[in-house]
Amino acid sequence: MQRTRKTLTTKSRCYCSVFGCSNYITPQISLHIFPPDPKMRKKWSDSLQMTKPIGRGMRVCSEHFVKNDFFITTEHSVRRRLKRCAIPSQKLPGDFERELEKIQTISAVNETDMLNK
């Protein structure tokens, strides 16, 4: 009797681990692992306000870095590489919470205006 091996296909994707961000890898968005250097890893963790330990599968998407954090690549290059000194500084969890507060405040003001008319 000959055994056949079943191949399992999964549709799992790696997502960005930053609170409030649900990005995953696309042609426009790249995902980056946490740096192996403990000091840089701590800087990333502090910047991203990570509350849980950083696991092996955790990634940060390119949306959290400025353009200068990446090596200059040719226009035909698909892979985006981060510089070793890069620290996430864009669309951070605190920014997300402040934006949510703004939206809630604007909604409350608009609701009050509607009631006063």
Instruction: Look at residue 74 in the predicted model and tell me its pLDDT.
Output: 72
* pLDDT averaged over 10-residue windows placed end to end, the chain, 117 residues: 46 80 90 95 94 91 95 75 94 71 66 63
Residue 18: Cβ-neighbour burial (10 angstroms; 0-12, 13-18, 19+): buried
Identify the H or E element spanning 61.
strand 59-61
Per-residue model confidence (pLDDT) at position 61: 96
- Tell me the C-alpha to C-alpha distance, in Å, between residue 16 and each of 13, 58, 68, 72, 99: 10, 7, 20, 23, 19
pLDDT of residue 73: 75
